[in-house]
Structure 1
Amino acid sequence: MKRSPADTEASARKITRRGLLLGGLQVSFAAMLVGRMRYMQVEQADEYRDLAEENRVKFSLIPPARGLIHDRNGVLIAGNEQNYRIVMVREDAGDPEAVLTRLRKIVWIDDADVRRALDEMRRRSPFVPVTVADRIAWEDVAEVAVNAPALPGVTAEVGLSRLYPRANDFAHVIGYVGPVSDYDLSKLVDPDPLLQIPRFQIGKSGVEAKMELDLRGSAGTREVEVNAVGREMRELGREEGRAGDNIQLTVDADLQAYVQARLAGESAAAVVMDTVTGDVLAIGSAPTFDPNKFVRGISSKDYNTLINDIYRPLAAKPAQGTYPPGSTFKMVTALAALEDGVIDLNETIRCNGHVEVHSRRFHCWKRAGHGPVDLAKSLRESCDIYYYEIAQRVGIEKISAMARKLGLGERHDLPLSAVAQGLIPTKAWKREARGADWVVGDSLNAGIGQGFVLASPLQLTVMTARLATGQAIHPRLVRSVNGVETPVRNDGPLDISTSHLEAIRQGMYEVVNARRGTAGRSKIVGDDMRMAGKTGTSQVRNITTAERARGVFRNEDLPWERRDHALFVGYAPHDNPRYAVTVVVEHGGGGSKAAAPIARDVMLQAAYQGQPPLEAYPSNQRGTIRSRQRDIEEMLEMPHAEREKAAEGRA
């Protein structure tokens, strides 16, 4: 049917309106696109430029060099060495297992390391690098670089790793570092980003752990350009971090090495301290171990050998170990009684070999007794009955107060692992800790350094230095940090009568130098270096009435772990004290036999700053001493790894 002109005109008007509408929409849309493009290209140009840069630029942290540790004379005892390693970033690798398979065709990698790396990648963020192989050869680094296109996400890099050139000598002082663990991170509220760097090392024990923040330093940053597959093209910028602080200790490396060699074959501890400054000159623990093994990753076999050794080589015995001080505590009891006025310098107490208190018999080490005993004789011959009597008179509270005044029962502020507080008991302590009242027998035992009393070799050395000088000196292990001297701490004169201290010193002098002194065989010849001291033998088992009746077993006839501990504390020169020494030989038997000879040798080594002349020893001992000196000289010339084997041969 033919359309009328009116219909045709109406249809044309509709088409025109639709065209205008569609055209308008198109123009509006085009305008929006132009506006958006202008907004993005002009208004947000800087933001998108940054996003584009981030696609081709990577930022990474540069680990700082860990601070160095030196001895008092500048000898390096903890340093750094170059270490090549292979790291992988899961995000860049795509399929880590496939990449590792290709990598193992180029570089030998242990199965355990592969499993560890894959496990760590699963646990960590995908962009965090994970160490696949550590301490690799330069040839392996070159192979990885050549094959980089086939190994996405894999990088060979160089870093620094800790090195202990003096190895075993300082294991219990310096401690060691190791890779950051999940446990380490869990203890921190706001962990340093440095700790996310693969296999980053932090202090695990000793000075390394206690001064971690000083030694760690702060990270630098590195900006590099990478291509589409993540391969580094060039370095765009670098900002170096701050190296860790360098620390100088008070310890003398040569004296420390001698102490370790002299203790070889024993389970023992020794401390040497400057009585004027409080500087710890040596702090030895035997047996020892090589801390480098922990840095590099100790094997299960080596670790099990250490933890199963009954001599406990991992224990830092000088500061961490606590022992009944035995007769080395008698000076404390005597001073408490003198200061309280319950005895005087000339009073004598008769020793018949035992004393009965509340139907219980307390024995002297000398079964027949010492007869009449005054203060000097009680120290010189170590009479127990004398101290049982005066301990009853003065009581535990005043004995404990005197002990603390002399530095016992105090956790000394040194950067060492697990510094022990020891135990100086009181009546309140026993009620709280044991749920029982204090009895007279407890005071008697405490009076001779047994019972509940415990002290570390470090604490006994502080006690000895204070007795020798009358000054409340504190021990110091860190001499300086980055060249800034650590202050000496001395709280001034002890609040103890000078005449009472002199009486104690005279008794300690006679212990070593008088004919009947318990340490007479360990005297030093020469008036300018005479030593004063006190032997101690502390029981680790109870002696029954039946055993006393048939005869007490000799230490030599008992299993090693049931033998008495041997102790000696001393200072020299007696008339101008400069060095204080403590030696504890675990289960060594008598202090006069096992500990005093070691203490004398160590004292002379410190005083002469090297091997002393034979003339410093009694003439009838010089042949034996010369033979021992040669043995130690040979041991000190051995590599550290061989010293422990030689020590085992001497045990």
Structure 2
Amino acid sequence: MRKSQKEIAESSRGISRRVLMLGVIQASVISVLGLRLRSMQLEHAEEFRLLSDGNSIKIRLLPPARGLILDRNGTIIAGNEQNYRVTLTRADAGDVSTVIARLRKIIPMSDRQVSDLMAEIRRRSAVTPIMVADRLTWQEFSSVALNAPTLPGVTPESGLSRSYPRAGDFSHVLGYVGPVSDYDLSKIDNPDPVLRLPEFQLGKVGMEARLEAPLRGKAGNRRVEVNSAGREMRELSRVEGQQGATVQTTLDARLQNFATQRLGSESAAAVVIDVTNGDIVAISSSPVFDPNKFVRGISGPDYRELMNHDHRPLADKTVQGAYPPGSTFKMVTLLAGLEAGVINAGTRFYCPGYLQLAGRRFHCWSRGGHGSVDAIGSLEHSCDVYYYELAQRVGIDRIAAMARKLGIGVRHDLPMSAITEGIAPDRAWKRARYNQEWQVGDSVNASIGQGYVLASPLQLAVMTARVATGREVIPRLVRSIDGVPEPVPEFADLGLNPLNLRTARGGMDAVMNAERGTARRSRTVAPEWLMAGKTGTSQVRNITAAERARGVIRNEQLPWNRRDHALFVCYAPFDAPRYAVSCVVEHGGGGSAVAAPIARDILLFALAGGLPPITAYPDGEREKVQEIWSRMNLMPQPTTKTVRARA
């Protein structure tokens, strides 16, 4: 059938539109190709010309700067320092042995170092840069750069390395970083490619390890032109990495420095908590070590010295150490009895110097006994028999429940390594642990912080803070991350009877300030800084009946590792608590003689914001205190400086 003129016209218009659209598409494609061709010919002509001559473009990762760690006042306690280093990429080096031989003429390298380097080169991928040397002097670094034309595959780099300006002061709480090992990589699913960079530093222990993710940052990259000999010709572009987060801790660098020096060479630990918000303002374990040695690669002799030291400098005694708390635990037993209604503040027990139980004598530390003692007097004189009697009436399950309520037998969540849970034993615990039933003698031992009971210095500080406030003080170490404050929780009320808390606090006050208080010599006399505290001495050996008959051997007559541990806990001011302190001196002897003076001095430094006036001490203590101060090299008051968080 013949189409009408109208139909023919409409069909022609449809074909014209399709042809026009096809033409537009073709023109667009040609325009894009033309623009791309222009870009290749004009803007990137030199780059492609070089590529045609045997050069190549490679992308290198740029390690990010590790985030800073600050104290509460903005003082840097973990930072970064300039580090000049040299890397080698096997794929670009050609004859590796020849390149290394040339490099040895510029950088001193022992045969052992070369052997280790060759083994690492063979083990790694050909395209992975391998660290040849780091911490070069400027002269060595510039010599390598000048000789770059004869060193294919060798790249001199200027980067950053971790540094700890306060050396040992924060060695245990911060930990340290070190090169990423195959073991480290095996623990990480889909590891960040930046971890494979030569000598990239990863947090190994302490806060450095627990806060690795925010501290690490994000890698950058650079595009470089490399010739056929593997030599970098020029940098074509660079995208800097994103620095890790700035972490501000709750710690006070000056107080930490004082606490570390006050502990001295003792095998000891001290913890200071702000009871109003849970901030740990000092947490020191002694002896210390220099974490910078681990960053730079600690020598064999240095490491063996640390490992073989009988005071265990690598162990963080503040959170990893679990000690029998001795008489510092008596507040737990006392509050358990008071809350259960078994006793009240006026309840008295008679102490003849021992308790006879099932044919066995449990001795008081005072051989002649304390006579009739009430609740407050039991703490003032630290009468063991009072607690032996109380334990039989209140039972271990109530004592253990009170211990956990006060923070013992609980693992506190802090960004530190290997935090112990301690032990607040009860019937179920012994059955599960030893498949044995609990005995009355177990309760008697536990009542004075011996037997199965174990607590860390951190837990003892938390216990003291909770007794001082009646609230569930929760310790914390991080104040802010990149300027964003960490939330401070509202501490729940412990639900303890205020009268019972007043009795426990009254006993701790009597320990320090009563005429016969066990820590009276370590009291303060400044009215605004009056302390409450409790001494503790925990045995590490059994005393036989024969030894008691002829006289117990004095601590100073025993080998160091067989002496009692010395403990002390305290808080101040008594009427308006601000800080709680715990101190443990391993094998120190008596808590009143050794641990109490240390804890008191640290507490006064915290309250005064520096060395306190000597008038805060009793007359008989002032000369001794000044002599201790004269041996210290204290950190000066830092100048006002603001360290900004990353953008």
Same fold? TM cut 0.5: yes
- Partner SS, residue 446 of structure 2: helix
Distance 2:550 2:526 in 1: 44
8 Å Cα contact 2:92-2:231 kept in structure 1: no
- Offset at residue 55 of structure 1 (A): 6.1
- Partner SS, residue 318 of structure 2: helix
> 1:149 is matched with which residue?
149
Distance 1:50 1:286 in 2: 64
8 Å Cα contact 1:583-1:596 kept in structure 2: yes
> 1:28 is matched with which residue?
none
Q: Please tell me the residue identity of whatever aligns with 1:465.
A: A
**Alignment deviations for residues 501-551 of structure 1 (CA, whole Å, 9 cap, x no partner):** 001000000000000000000010022110000000000111111111111
**Percent of aligned pairs with the same residue?**
59
> 1:166 is matched with which residue?
166
- Partner SS, residue 234 of structure 1: strand
> 1:230 is matched with which residue?
230
Distance 1:389 1:143 in 2: 79
> 1:571 is matched with which residue?
571
> 2:139 is matched with which residue?
139
Distance 1:110 1:210 in 2: 36
> 1:204 is matched with which residue?
204
Distance 1:52 1:274 in 2: 64
Residue 491 of structure 1 pairs with residue 515 of structure 2:
no
8 Å Cα contact 1:474-1:490 kept in structure 2: no
Q: Please tell me the residue identity of whatever aligns with 1:299.
A: S
> 1:404 is matched with which residue?
404
8 Å Cα contact 1:457-1:582 kept in structure 2: yes
Distance 1:485 1:635 in 2: 30
> 1:534 is matched with which residue?
534
> 2:25 is matched with which residue?
none
Distance 2:525 2:634 in 1: 26
Cα separation, partners in 2 of 1:607 and 1:95, compared to 1, 3 Å = same
> 1:450 is matched with which residue?
450
> 1:104 is matched with which residue?
104
**Alignment deviations for residues 404-435 of structure 1 (CA, whole Å, 9 cap, x no partner):** 10011111111111111111111111112112
- Partner SS, residue 425 of structure 1: coil
Residue 282 of structure 1 pairs with residue 286 of structure 2:
no
Distance 2:228 2:120 in 1: 26
Residue 383 of structure 1 pairs with residue 371 of structure 2:
no
Alignment of 1:66-145 (within 5 A): 66-145=66-145
> 1:25 is matched with which residue?
none
Alignment of 1:325-404 (within 5 A): 325-404=325-404
Distance 2:408 2:55 in 1: 63
Q: Please tell me the residue identity of whatever aligns with 2:469.
A: T
**Alignment deviations for residues 593-627 of structure 1 (CA, whole Å, 9 cap, x no partner):** 00001111111100000011111011122122222
Q: Please tell me the residue identity of whatever aligns with 1:348.
A: R
- Offset at residue 490 of structure 1 (A): 3.6
> 1:611 is matched with which residue?
611
Distance 1:579 1:147 in 2: 60
- Offset at residue 230 of structure 1 (A): 1.9
> 2:319 is matched with which residue?
319
Distance 1:241 1:334 in 2: 57
Cα separation, partners in 2 of 1:479 and 1:345, compared to 1, 3 Å = same
**Alignment deviations for residues 256-305 of structure 1 (CA, whole Å, 9 cap, x no partner):** 00001111021110011101011001011111011111111111011111
Distance 1:488 1:418 in 2: 24
- Offset at residue 130 of structure 1 (A): 0.4
- Offset at residue 56 of structure 1 (A): 1.0
8 Å Cα contact 2:258-2:634 kept in structure 1: no
> 1:38 is matched with which residue?
none
- Partner SS, residue 409 of structure 2: coil
Q: Please tell me the residue identity of whatever aligns with 1:436.
A: Q
Q: Please tell me the residue identity of whatever aligns with 1:371.
A: G
8 Å Cα contact 1:473-1:489 kept in structure 2: no
Residue 247 of structure 1 pairs with residue 247 of structure 2:
yes
Residue 503 of structure 1 pairs with residue 503 of structure 2:
yes
> 2:9 is matched with which residue?
none
Alignment of 1:257-268 (within 5 A): 257-268=257-268
Q: Please tell me the residue identity of whatever aligns with 1:345.
A: A
> 1:177 is matched with which residue?
177
Distance 1:185 1:117 in 2: 20
- Offset at residue 51 of structure 1 (A): 14
- Partner SS, residue 431 of structure 1: helix
Q: Which has the larger radius of gyration?
A: 1
Alignment of 1:452-491 (within 5 A): 452-491=452-491
> 1:546 is matched with which residue?
546
8 Å Cα contact 1:409-1:455 kept in structure 2: yes
**Alignment deviations for residues 208-243 of structure 1 (CA, whole Å, 9 cap, x no partner):** 111001100010111111212122222222222211
- Partner SS, residue 329 of structure 1: helix
- Offset at residue 92 of structure 1 (A): 1.5
8 Å Cα contact 1:269-1:317 kept in structure 2: yes
- Offset at residue 146 of structure 1 (A): 2.3
Give the count of matched residue pairs. Answer: 592
Distance 1:359 1:149 in 2: 89
Q: Please tell me the residue identity of whatever aligns with 1:59.
A: I
8 Å Cα contact 1:113-1:133 kept in structure 2: no
Distance 1:518 1:186 in 2: 54
- Offset at residue 581 of structure 1 (A): 0.5
- Partner SS, residue 278 of structure 1: coil
- Partner SS, residue 493 of structure 1: coil
Cα separation, partners in 2 of 1:291 and 1:536, compared to 1, 3 Å = same
- Offset at residue 115 of structure 1 (A): 2.1
- Offset at residue 473 of structure 1 (A): 1.1
Distance 1:452 1:50 in 2: 78
Distance 1:299 1:125 in 2: 28
**Alignment deviations for residues 332-380 of structure 1 (CA, whole Å, 9 cap, x no partner):** 0011111111112111000011111111111100011100011011000
8 Å Cα contact 1:68-1:245 kept in structure 2: yes
- Greater shift, 428-437 or 516-525, is seen at 428-437
Cα separation, partners in 2 of 1:635 and 1:483, compared to 1, 3 Å = closer
8 Å Cα contact 2:151-2:231 kept in structure 1: no
Q: Please tell me the residue identity of whatever aligns with 1:181.
A: S
Distance 2:386 2:111 in 1: 68
8 Å Cα contact 1:68-1:76 kept in structure 2: yes
TM-score scaled by length of structure 2:
0.89
- Greater shift, 95-104 or 597-606, is seen at 95-104
Distance 1:626 1:150 in 2: 64
Distance 2:140 2:624 in 1: 54
- Offset at residue 107 of structure 1 (A): 1.7
8 Å Cα contact 1:536-1:566 kept in structure 2: yes
- Partner SS, residue 473 of structure 1: coil
- Partner SS, residue 472 of structure 2: strand
> 1:512 is matched with which residue?
512
Q: Please tell me the residue identity of whatever aligns with 1:298.
A: I
Residue 585 of structure 1 pairs with residue 551 of structure 2:
no
Q: Please tell me the residue identity of whatever aligns with 1:427.
A: R
- Partner SS, residue 492 of structure 2: strand
Q: Please tell me the residue identity of whatever aligns with 1:202.
A: L
Distance 1:107 1:579 in 2: 54
- Offset at residue 52 of structure 1 (A): 6.4
> 1:307 is matched with which residue?
307
Q: Please tell me the residue identity of whatever aligns with 2:113.
A: D
Q: Please tell me the residue identity of whatever aligns with 2:482.
A: N
8 Å Cα contact 2:154-2:231 kept in structure 1: no
Distance 1:196 1:256 in 2: 35
8 Å Cα contact 2:91-2:127 kept in structure 1: yes
